[in-house]
Structure 1
Amino acid sequence: MKSDFHKIVFSRCLLWMVLLSISLPIHAQKQQASSVSGTIKDDKGEVLPGVNVKVKGSSASAISNVNGHYEIKANNGSVLVFKYLGFEDKEITVGSNAVINVNMSVANKDLDEVVVVGYGTQKKSDVTGAVTSIPKDRIENMVRTDVVQLIQGAAAGLNVSATEAGSNPESGAVMLIRGRSSISASNDPLIILDGIAFNGSLSDINPNEVESIEILKDASSAAIYGSRAANGVILIQSKKGTKGKVSLKYNAFYALQEVANFPKFMDGEQYYQFKKNTLNTGTDDDPAMTQSELDVYNSGSWRDWSWKDLITKSGNSQQHNLSISGGSEKTSYSASLSYLGTNGIVINDQYKRGNARINVTSNVTDWLTIGSSNMMGKINNSGASPSYIDLFNKSPLSVPFNPDGSVNIKPIADDPRKINPIENLLYDDLKVRYNASTMNYVNITIPQVKGLSYRLNTGLQYESSEKNWYRGSNTGKSGSLKGESETNAGQKFSYTVENVVSYKRDFAKHSLFLTGLYSFEGKENKIATLNGEGFANDFLSYYGITQASKIVPSYSYLKTALISQMFRLNYSYDSRYLFTGTVRRDGFSGFGENKKYGVFSSVALGWNIMNEAFFAGAKQTVNNLKLRVSYGENGNQAISPYQTLSQLGGGDYVDGTTMAPGYLPATLGTANLGWETTRALNIGLDFGILNSRITGEINVYRNKTSDLLLKRAISAVHGVNSVFQNIGKTQNDGIEFMVNSNNITKKSFSWNSNLNFAFIKTKIVDLYGDGKDDIANGWFIGQPIKTNFDYKFIGVWQMDEATEATKYGAKPGYAKYDDYNQNGVYDPGDRQLLGDQEPNFTWGFTNNFKYKQFGLSVFMYGKVGAIKANPYKDRNYLIVREFWTPENPINSFWSNSNQATRYLGKGITPSVYESADFVRVKDITLTYAVGKKLLSRAKINSLDFYFTGKNLFTITKWGALDPELDAQRAVPLQREYMLGLRFGL
């Protein structure tokens, strides 16, 4: 028994010893866990803050600080995993060394770049639609005063044309994504700012606050915005804060401006000879020189001034932008203040803009994130413009000022009808706008269901405007009325509420991203106007309008509502096969009772060919190759509210001998009026060559738009002559190409380029269902929407053509036109199509060079295919020119006779059409970055100085003010020279 006891004790002791021998190494290993630390840098030796460091197979983790330093507990033999957005993951096994420094390599940016696609983000390699991102280095480094400058010429398929020059960005630009598809409705793209539809002007946004810009061009990418996305979508994200050390940045410049191009007007002597040699001086259409003009000519006082010098001047502008950003582990913030002030190159051409923004994001818990984006601003562009119409035909033998230096409202004493072009200096003019917006969100990650989240987006936008003017009794235009004024107060308010549910999960080789939306948007606009005439005095200006002898009030009110539901499915298999499907349903209050709702859907497929096994051998050369195909439909709801309702308008009538107020039919109700619908097919190819040293994309598309919102003539028996209907069709076909190239990448020198171009063909397929053209509106089946339809100028009748000229009612020296229908006379049948008013080929080309601390950026763009009427081909414009004479039989301009272009009939004066093709060197910037060693002593992060020249050269055969501008008698294009600095702490 005793022996058995000893055996039992011995066996148990032996077991304990075995277990202890096993457990001791384990215990020792645990005890060996120690601190591992180091510094994380990129390939260039720059420290990387915010790198996520984890022990593989463990919950232990750490994040590198602002100096790139990390520290983590790890056992000997453990594997550390380093992850950082935009860089390749790195794994390192822990050894006996307690210090492990890490160098991380940049990942394939073209594939891993995160792209905003609306209600979410995707890796660029997973995007199936035609989405173009504006290069980030362009956003960060381009010297700009307006967001429009960032996108002009930067994306294939986006045509940004300046309609007018001057200091005011709002006088603006026409933005077309893949051309003009609507005839009567708006063709403006939808602007989304921080996830919410932005109802203001792009000029309200401080370009220094912009983080990213994406252009959604095809139906698949834009379909999530449904009834407003037929014209494309521009997504803008403002800058957000980053965790870490507080960053303070200051950016400022001062610029000088000069007139880039302006016609040379006749001086006194040239005008005298012009009148003296006129073949029909003294007619009603061409009056002879007045006695007062002769007196000025004989006195020689005209030599002391010119209309051009009185209208134009040297301009200047300055911009200041101060921003601060930073954050803790859970909350980040970004705030900025900016000011832009411009005194332009034309009298009273000024623009002042002040902006403030603050963005805050807070990770309240692991499952709750809140964010807020807030902006407010003031814009002042007060000042009446000079009369350009009078400027171009005003006699230089005038007296612009009185002896006391005041503006002479009757510059030609014996012709009081002629207005002084600079009379605007006598007007009081106020144009001020205030705007404020707040976009807020709450994002909840549902803890119980991995990948499921709910997001509430809200947006509020408010704008208040004041536009007042007064023309006193001391002015020619309103003096006879004893003063005239207008006060205009406007308010715009809109709000948006969006409920977004997302589910995003990866299952083995399957990746799923579902998005559901339910949203509501409301808009309300109010404008109150008072017009007044007959003031007792000029002292109170427009503030005295209540004392005017005649006051006419008016009021405008508009209110709309949009309710939407949307579902989107993104699916990826093995990062090779991609699918996107979208359905959106919109209800808009502005449409007819029977068509309040519309459904818009799209589907897109993508194939990442480079991820196929058979492509492995080619990856050394072609590292990215993706084929995309999409088809879908979007809408255009750009129509005025209440247009579908039957309305009455005011109309006075005579009751015996008394005038009494009454009402007349104004619009006829159209209960079936709905959206224009664009159905679009897009085939695209994304590529990357030589480890993305060369990247780019090619897109081929066809957009068909039907149910156009057109006004159709109807019988006047209804009391109105026209009504809006969904009729007509258009079609846009195009090819787009973009390529980015890192041409040279050396330690001391680098050169990269961005080239994009687009070709587009637009045509009207149908108008009213009968296959007929609408000549009155200039709309023709098979032709672009904006065409030229006129008599064709082919030269000047010469002396040896006198007999033939007589048959057409002309004389040698008269303008000669094409007898298009070959019937021996000029009649309306000789009018013909003379080209498209808009270009069919656009391109942009940017080159960035860097040598040590110097940088040089050159941006140029151009447009081809536009034909425009040249208004300077008008004898009545007092521009220095060469006239046809028997001794000088030129073929480019006719004789000095008023009838030379008017002999076709009363009121018929054909224009001369010219090519508006051009190449413009838009922006050249030279930068010097102060060395980091010198800056580190002063504890400064960055300090750059730059010099920029804008609109330096334009190559064109266009013979008027500027080939891109619509207005040729307006503010000329300005050339600018900027000197500035960027400073960061």
Structure 2
Amino acid sequence: MTIVPVFAAETNNIPSATQQKQAVTGIVTDNKGEVIPGVNVMEKGTTNGVITDVNGHYTITVTNENAVLAFSFIGYVTKEVPVKRQKTLNISLAEEILNLEEVVVVGYGVQKKRDLTGAVTQVKATSLEKERPATVQDILRANVAGLNIGLDNSAKGGGSMEIRGKRSIKASNEPLLVVDGIIYYGSLDEINPNDIAQIDVLKDASSAAVYGAKSAAGVVLITTKKGSAEKPTVQFNASVGISTLAKKMDVYNPQEYLAWREDVQESIFEDHKPGEFSDPNNLPAGVTLEDWISYRPTTGNYTYDWLVRLGLFEPELDNYFAGRTFDWYDETYQKAFRQDYNVNISGKKDKVSYYWSLGYLNNEGIVIGDKYKSYRSRLKLDFDVTSWLSAGVNVQYSYRDQGAIPRSVNQIWANTPYSTPTDLDGNPMLYPTGIDNASSINSAYNDSFIDRSAIRNSFTGSMYAKIKLPFGISYQVNFSPRLLLYNYRNHRSSQHPVWKSFGGDAQRRSEMSYNWQVDNLIRWEHTFAQKHQVEVTLLQNAEENQSWQEIQTTQQFAPSDILGYHRMQAGTVPAISSNDTRNTGDALMGRLFYSFDKKYMLTASVRRDGYSAFGVSNPHATFPSVALGWVFSEEPFFKFPAMDFGKLRVSWGQNGNRDIGMYAALAEMKTDQYIYQTLNGNIDLSNSIYVSTMANKDLKWETTSSFNFGLDFGFLDSRISGNIDVYKMVTSDLLINRSLTETIGFGEVMANLGEVQNTGFELSLRTLNIDAKNFQWNTTFNFSLNRNKVNHLYGDYENVLDDNGNVIGRKEMDDIKNEWFIGKDISSIWTYNVIGVWQENEAEQAAEYGLRPGDMKIKDVDGNKIYDNNDKEFIGYKTPRFRWTLRNEFTLFKNWNLSFMLYSYWGHKAPYQRAKHFEAGTLTKTNYFKIPYWTAENPTNEYARLYSDDKNIGANFYRSLSFIRLDNISIGYTVPKSFLNKFKIEGMNIYGTIKNVGCWAPDWEYYDPEAYNADSPNTVSSTNRTYTLGVNVTF
């Protein structure tokens, strides 16, 4: 009797004879109209299903006309559609903003987004293809909260990288690079951005700790493309562009220049007579020509005399009377042409996956003479040799020509409108304003006497074999060699009027570096009782890095230097030097990942590193980490329907920094020559060898301990998703050069001293604003802030005194020389506070400081009329206090796409050097940028007088560098497949982009604020705006 109901229950799932089966067919595309192969098409409530083919096509027979089909694919929102007697169902799937099943690359493995316990951000390079990023840095720029990318406007492009602030004072703050699972010691410009599939950035210690001593500054993991489609796919991309100067700082035209020189001279010579420097043909009221003549001796040619009074040199005088002027912008900048061509072939067949690419890049910079050319190729093969053995090879080659000789941008203001590159007879001039003014520059003249070549060839490879063992265990071995060849050649001709004094010179420099790494990896993955997921990773690593450098130089070629560096033996003053280096490293690492019921996650790791650069007492160091994750949205008690995903993360870990000199802990030996007198009175040279640096056998690793708390969230079916992270990082045992007393015999020694702290907040927000049939709109917003603080320095203490000189305590001493202060940000600005400009009615007060009206008014903190360190104050920061980015992407009518991106750095300052007008001196008869200046008639408080004075104390006007940049506008058109099928073309996209559209900086009137260089604040910095057109074709 118990059998009957069970049988009846089972038969309820069997279709009745009256139910009619029905065939349904269709094509699945994305919201841009592109077909999606591999989509799962399932009849809901059954095991009946198919997948779409390479053309996105499917055919499925459903059990009845009331069936519901579910369409699902990784990276897209699952869609359920009732059949309703329809025989054709063409489906469009929307991209899923928060794809929890998507794979993220972590150290020595991958994880699903759902399982992540660390602070990891992923950037899909394919999603940015229509913006045509020119470099790897362009893929990352403004797309990762907490990752700062420097600006490089040269033809090469690129820029520095920094994750979550400055962690080290002296060692490197650049993140570790990992390409396809292998630590990468090459340059990013060797990697073709077209080869990149995705980039994952590890920001917290627990994520990066598996790389131990190399990951204190974070890790950037680059994954390149590989073959996946069953049939061969050929892609060709071509783009051309024009770059122009984004912001031109106007200089004075010829007439304005003469008026400016008049003001310069009047400011220099305080006791000048009325109209003394005025045009004798246009004297001010009350001044006669006789008065003017009486001021200074004249030649009878009064215009000539006036120009001499203004400080013009002989060539400028000749040009003035000949009516010749020159715009030095035209001799410095150009409209630069850029070309980028790439082809790749990929596919997968018979257990072999292949990807091959070749790229050619030829860029001109906006500065004349700046150019960069490269060839880059990659071959990636993966083989399933047997059911238990797989192997692969990944080889990258790059050729880079960096022998450019760009014009000196400073020649724009180092010359005047009346100084020309040639004299009246057309002969080129070395000094356009005359031989008496060597500060003037004719860069083109110098460059014409230089022959230079700089070629880099690099080969980077990796080979692996993976064996599947019983019980879910696998073993993999990786071997990764790298070879870099660099050849630099330079010749300065003896035909140059200055270089002929030493007969010309030449240099040949050859460098070769070779390194290899071996990774032995054991992995074990197993799931118990469908809820307990365990992954164990074990690593043994060894590496060796070697380099060889040879330099030949020579001068005084005889009989001629016409062959330059091609015939070094013709030089009669040769010199040869060489330098070889070698270092080694090793590591052991273990990592455990545990997940229970896909809700509770634990990741723990420990890595022990060894490196030959450290002292014999501390060659090894151990770096642990632990992280927890909780998907609280899966808990039964969680009742918030609008929030479909929520996960809390907390992590702690330690990372090391080994990026110091190879022999920083050792006593280095050097050779030299010295002159001595023999007993018989002869002067001779003797070779010597000596110890140049002091050893420190106790030198150890710089260590960063990091705590991170994070929240991952998704709302409204993940139409709103994002991450919030709060962190605190403390870097201790800083690697710093410690000064020594003279009696020791060495000036300094590398030591472990001090502690730096970084705390910060990061927000990443992604939204699907509109998802209609013919219009989609996505937004991505990132925000980050970082606060830095020096906790300790050298451990030297001093007494704290009260007003009566009594000792009331002790405090650690600051480093005044380097401007590092306990409790302050490394980037704090400690300087004199310029509070305005001395005005005419303040002449007596200004005179008390040896200054006069028009000079900077500097705050006298202690009121003793003497400016010293006691008058310096903290007035701001050199690095931004906040950073944010905003990207919007639109798809219209499935074929058109439009995107734009803004980003902002806010809250930092820099010295506005030219507001002092020091350069307007009597000896530098230069042109000048049109910047306001103080006069009695223009009593500004923001700009000093021309040729102002601060008694050499180094005061400056400081201005905010805060800016908002519209960085990129991109538009593309995807040609319909119905049209392309006639030509057997799989896909085609035509696009156009504008890079660096505009920049708004409310308080910075000079050049681009992001291009400001703190190490060279007076250097003219140029940024370019690039217009690009391109086409991407798939066969």
Name the structure 2 match of 1:216.
202
Alpha-carbon offset, residue 612 of structure 1:
0.8
Write out per-residue CA displacement over residues 571-618 of structure 1, whole angstroms, 9 at most, x where no aligned residue.
000011100001000000111111100000000000001111112x42
* Equivalent AA in structure 1 for residue 155 of structure 2: S
Name the structure 1 match of 2:839.
798
Give distance in 2, aligned partners of 1:501 and 1:762: 39
Q: Residue 723 of structure 2: which of 675, 693, 697 is its match?
A: 697
Alpha-carbon offset, residue 542 of structure 1:
2.0
SS in 2 for 1:704: strand
Write out per-residue CA displacement over residues 939-963 of structure 1, whole angstroms, 9 at most, x where no aligned residue.
2221111111111110002133221
TM-score after normalising by structure 2: 0.85
Write out per-residue CA displacement over residues 825-872 of structure 1, whole angstroms, 9 at most, x where no aligned residue.
223432333322111211111000111121110011110122112333
Q: Residue 850 of structure 1: which of 877, 891, 895 is its match?
A: 891
For the Cα contact (< 8 Å) 2:316–2:419, is it kept in 1? no
Q: Residue 155 of structure 2: which of 167, 178, 181 is its match?
A: 167
Identity of aligned residues (%): 34
Q: 1:820 to 1:649 in 2, by over 3 A?
A: farther
Give distance in 1, aligned partners of 2:30 and 2:318: 75
1:504 to 2:525 alignment: yes
Write out per-residue CA displacement over residues 45-99 of structure 1, whole angstroms, 9 at most, x where no aligned residue.
976534689999x9999976424567999999xx99998545689999xxxx9x9
SS in 2 for 1:550: coil
Give distance in 1, aligned partners of 2:768 and 2:43: 37
Name the structure 2 match of 1:880.
930
Q: Residue 214 of structure 2: which of 228, 234, 239 is its match?
A: 228
Q: 1:291 to 1:219 in 2, by over 3 A?
A: closer
Q: 1:871 to 1:433 in 2, by over 3 A?
A: farther
Name the structure 2 match of 1:974.
1024
Give distance in 2, aligned partners of 1:663 and 1:911: 46
For the Cα contact (< 8 Å) 1:138–1:150, is it kept in 2? no
For the Cα contact (< 8 Å) 1:360–1:371, is it kept in 2? yes
Alpha-carbon offset, residue 254 of structure 1:
1.2
For the Cα contact (< 8 Å) 1:871–1:960, is it kept in 2? no
Name which of structure 1's ranges 80-89 and 917-926 shifts more when overlaid on structure 2. Answer: 80-89
1:635 to 2:635 alignment: no
Name the structure 2 match of 1:494.
515
1:371 to 2:413 alignment: no
For the Cα contact (< 8 Å) 1:764–1:781, is it kept in 2? yes
Name the structure 1 match of 2:305.
none
1:112 to 2:104 alignment: no
Give distance in 1, aligned partners of 2:963 and 2:461: 41
SS in 2 for 1:165: coil
SS in 2 for 1:661: strand
Name the structure 1 match of 2:279.
none
SS in 1 for 2:206: helix
Q: 1:604 to 1:280 in 2, by over 3 A?
A: same
1:984 to 2:1029 alignment: no
For the Cα contact (< 8 Å) 2:831–2:875, is it kept in 1? yes
Listed as ranges, the matches of 1:83-162 within 5 Å are 85-86=74-75, 109-136=98-125, 138-162=127-151
Name the structure 2 match of 1:722.
748
Give distance in 2, aligned partners of 1:68 and 1:816: 73
For the Cα contact (< 8 Å) 1:296–1:398, is it kept in 2? no
1:255 to 2:245 alignment: no
SS in 1 for 2:574: strand
For the Cα contact (< 8 Å) 1:332–1:362, is it kept in 2? yes
Give distance in 1, aligned partners of 2:423 and 2:738: 54
Name the structure 2 match of 1:8.
none
Q: 1:505 to 1:592 in 2, by over 3 A?
A: same
Name the structure 2 match of 1:23.
none
Alpha-carbon offset, residue 650 of structure 1:
3.2
Give distance in 2, aligned partners of 1:564 and 1:220: 17
Q: 1:403 to 1:493 in 2, by over 3 A?
A: farther
Alpha-carbon offset, residue 474 of structure 1:
3.0
SS in 1 for 2:330: helix
1:444 to 2:467 alignment: yes
Residue correspondences, number: 936
Alpha-carbon offset, residue 629 of structure 1:
0.2
For the Cα contact (< 8 Å) 1:590–1:640, is it kept in 2? yes
* Equivalent AA in structure 2 for residue 452 of structure 1: I
Name the structure 1 match of 2:978.
933
Alpha-carbon offset, residue 410 of structure 1:
3.2
For the Cα contact (< 8 Å) 2:215–2:657, is it kept in 1? yes
For the Cα contact (< 8 Å) 1:110–1:695, is it kept in 2? no
Q: Residue 958 of structure 2: which of 913, 920, 925 is its match?
A: 913
Give distance in 1, aligned partners of 2:340 and 2:35: 32
Q: 1:388 to 1:107 in 2, by over 3 A?
A: closer
Alpha-carbon offset, residue 37 of structure 1:
10
Alpha-carbon offset, residue 406 of structure 1:
5.5
Q: 1:730 to 1:494 in 2, by over 3 A?
A: same
SS in 2 for 1:964: helix
1:201 to 2:243 alignment: no
Q: 1:53 to 1:390 in 2, by over 3 A?
A: closer
Where do 5+ consecutive residues of structure 2 fail to align?
Answer: 1-20, 271-307, 678-682, 797-811, 921-927
Listed as ranges, the matches of 1:537-576 within 5 Å are 537-576=560-599
For the Cα contact (< 8 Å) 1:491–1:527, is it kept in 2? yes
Give distance in 2, aligned partners of 1:580 and 1:850: 39
SS in 2 for 1:245: coil
Alpha-carbon offset, residue 895 of structure 1:
1.9
Write out per-residue CA displacement over residues 303-323 of structure 1, whole angstroms, 9 at most, x where no aligned residue.
2x2222111111111111111
Q: 1:287 to 1:322 in 2, by over 3 A?
A: farther
* Equivalent AA in structure 2 for residue 859 of structure 1: M
1:865 to 2:890 alignment: no
SS in 2 for 1:872: helix
Please provide the CA RMSD for this pair.
Answer: 3.4
Q: 1:767 to 1:944 in 2, by over 3 A?
A: same
Give distance in 1, aligned partners of 2:714 and 2:47: 37
* Equivalent AA in structure 2 for residue 177 of structure 1: I
Give distance in 2, aligned partners of 1:426 and 1:658: 36
Q: Residue 962 of structure 1: which of 1004, 1008, 1011 is its match?
A: 1008
Give distance in 1, aligned partners of 2:363 and 2:765: 36
Give distance in 2, aligned partners of 1:260 and 1:744: 34
For the Cα contact (< 8 Å) 2:30–2:95, is it kept in 1? no
Q: Residue 635 of structure 2: which of 612, 616, 627 is its match?
A: 612
Name which of structure 1's ranges 650-659 and 197-206 shifts more when overlaid on structure 2. Answer: 650-659
Q: 1:224 to 1:139 in 2, by over 3 A?
A: farther
Q: Residue 626 of structure 2: which of 593, 598, 603 is its match?
A: 603
For the Cα contact (< 8 Å) 2:131–2:993, is it kept in 1? no
Give distance in 2, aligned partners of 1:90 and 1:260: 46
1:346 to 2:367 alignment: yes
Q: 1:88 to 1:980 in 2, by over 3 A?
A: closer
Give distance in 1, aligned partners of 2:716 and 2:49: 35
Give distance in 2, aligned partners of 1:823 and 1:134: 57
Name the structure 2 match of 1:708.
734
Q: 1:930 to 1:390 in 2, by over 3 A?
A: closer
1:766 to 2:792 alignment: yes
* Equivalent AA in structure 2 for residue 117 of structure 1: V
Give distance in 1, aligned partners of 2:839 and 2:204: 54
Name the structure 2 match of 1:356.
377
Name the structure 2 match of 1:26.
none
For the Cα contact (< 8 Å) 1:361–1:371, is it kept in 2? yes
1:472 to 2:493 alignment: yes
Give distance in 2, aligned partners of 1:954 and 1:481: 47
* Equivalent AA in structure 1 for residue 858 of structure 2: Y
Name which of structure 1's ranges 763-772 and 625-634 shifts more when overlaid on structure 2. Answer: 763-772
For the Cα contact (< 8 Å) 1:522–1:559, is it kept in 2? yes
Name which of structure 1's ranges 34-43 and 181-190 shifts more when overlaid on structure 2. Answer: 34-43
Where do 5+ consecutive residues of structure 1 fail to align?
Answer: 1-33
Listed as ranges, the matches of 1:417-428 within 5 Å are 417-418=438-439, 419-422=441-444, 423-428=446-451
Name which of structure 1's ranges 197-206 and 753-762 shifts more when overlaid on structure 2. Answer: 197-206
Name the structure 2 match of 1:22.
none
